[in-house]
Structure 1
Amino acid sequence: MTIAVGVFELFTYAIPGSLYVALFTYIAARAQWIDLAAVLKSPSFLLVIVVVLLSYLLGYLAYPLGLLAHKILPKRRKRDVTAEFLRRNPSAKDRPFVQADPFLLLAAIQLQDAEVGADASRVRATGLMLRNCAPPVLFGAVAAIVELFAGRSPVFAITCAVLFLIGGIALVVQGRMLGHWARMRTLEVAFWIPDIDDKFRP
């Protein structure tokens, strides 16, 4: 269980946070607020610890930005996980677990078999990671647009701006897809647990 929680937090917070650290470092160095060469001469062990802590904290603090990006970007189509699952598995129509809250259902699966439940958790964590990586990538697009006017390589700047913009949107879309897969995976696993319905009967 400890490994599963560690993986979830690494994917959901630390990896997106590292992108914020990279972005802020670039802006600070470009604006000459810090001497990057001097920073890189610091003891490696201490530098790694600072980067890891900053990444983790920024990932937590910036989590709402990922949620905001998820809400703002329009959805091309609305996908009902439960309806799709029942269409593929009509024999599960009258089973109580199908209508249960997905997070409560995942907790029930983890109580039954932590290793099996960890699979759905990893897919969900990956989806959240992609979604939370979108804002710093989009901010990178804004920084590239500024570099278009302030820098000396306009072609490189506009190329980066376009790639970052497309990449940020793609991250949100793929994050949604993995979130859908995680909910579907939760239902599929629960289907094969014989007594899972007893936990959701009134």
Structure 2
Amino acid sequence: MTFAIGIFDLFTYTISGSIYLAFLGYLVVRLHWVDIGALAGTPVPTLIVFVLLSYLLGYVAYPVGAVVNRVVPRRRERHPRQEFLRRVPTAQDRDYVQADPFLLLSALQLHDKDAAAEVTRLRASGLMLRNCAPPLALGFVAAIVELFLSRTPAMAAGCAVLLAVGFFSLIVQARRLSHWARMKTLELCFWLPDIDERYRVDRNAGGGSSPNNE
């Protein structure tokens, strides 16, 4: 049986889930529930189980990343449509610019899968960074606890600072990549034939655009 993980699943779920799994591994080792030396000779089937667990953890914890993204204050609001129209004035009268970004991505995937892959890569990278932020916050809490319980408080303090900086940096970079993905979608769809007419027909038939934060 072949088990394949796509780039979106790998970035969005598996990588972030592996960080959750690493944090859980730290807890069980720190609490002396498992001997870390016993894991040195882990067979290949067990590694596959770890990959599956990482994927499941990343999938289950996906909403946590979305909540954290909403809670952390934004330094500035990004408006991809306004920025795109400012950079490309000739698109001011184009109907497609008002369409839902995921509808545009679907059109792009139907027209040119290779071009759409670049947008998918940006989206997946942004979601990966966003979803990796919560386990860093958990690590920060653990580092604060270690600051009082461990024999190396200086190392614990250093880890706490690095994890805090990493947490906020991941959120900021995730938002930037999400913005780039939307900008790239608008830029590529600019060259799609008949996209304005198709969207105009859909909108007149009762469809419309709905905002989406991801």
Shift of 1:90: 1.1
Q: Which has the higher helix share?
A: 1
Question: Matches of 1:6 and 1:75 in 2, distance apart?
Answer: 31
Partner AA of 2:40 in structure 1: L
Partner AA of 1:148 in structure 2: L
Shift of 1:35: 2.2
Identical pairs, percent: 55
Residue 111 of structure 1 corresponds to 110
Runs (4 or more) in structure 1 with deviation over 6 Å come to none
Residue 193 of structure 1 corresponds to 192
Shift of 1:39: 2.9
Deviations 1:157-186 (A, max 9, x none): 000001001101100010000000000000
SS state of the match for residue 173, structure 2? Answer: helix
Residue 144 of structure 1 corresponds to 143
Question: Matches of 1:29 and 1:174 in 2, distance apart?
Answer: 31
What runs of 5+ residues in structure 1 fail to find an aligned partner? none
Question: Matches of 2:46 and 2:165 in 1, distance apart?
Answer: 32
SS state of the match for residue 65, structure 1? Answer: helix
Question: Matches of 2:115 and 2:24 in 1, distance apart?
Answer: 38
Shift of 1:36: 2.1
Residue 31 of structure 2 corresponds to 31
Normalising by structure 2, report the TM-score: 0.89
Question: Matches of 2:42 and 2:105 in 1, distance apart?
Answer: 44
Residue 126 of structure 2 corresponds to 127
Partner AA of 1:117 in structure 2: A
Number of residues paired by the alignment? 197
What runs of 5+ residues in structure 2 fail to find an aligned partner? 202-214
Shift of 1:42: 3.4
Question: Matches of 1:199 and 1:177 in 2, distance apart?
Answer: 30
Partner AA of 1:116 in structure 2: A
**Structure 1 residue 86 and structure 2 residue 85: aligned?**
yes
**Structure 1 residue 68 and structure 2 residue 67: aligned?**
yes
Residue 42 of structure 2 corresponds to 42
Residue 57 of structure 1 corresponds to 56
Shift of 1:40: 2.8
Normalising by structure 1, report the TM-score: 0.94
Question: Matches of 1:88 and 1:192 in 2, distance apart?
Answer: 15
Shift of 1:7: 0.4
SS state of the match for residue 79, structure 1? Answer: coil
Deviations 1:139-169 (A, max 9, x none): 1111111111111100000000010011011
Question: Matches of 2:133 and 2:76 in 1, distance apart?
Answer: 20
Partner AA of 1:41 in structure 2: G
Question: Matches of 2:149 and 2:60 in 1, distance apart?
Answer: 30
Shift of 1:32: 1.1
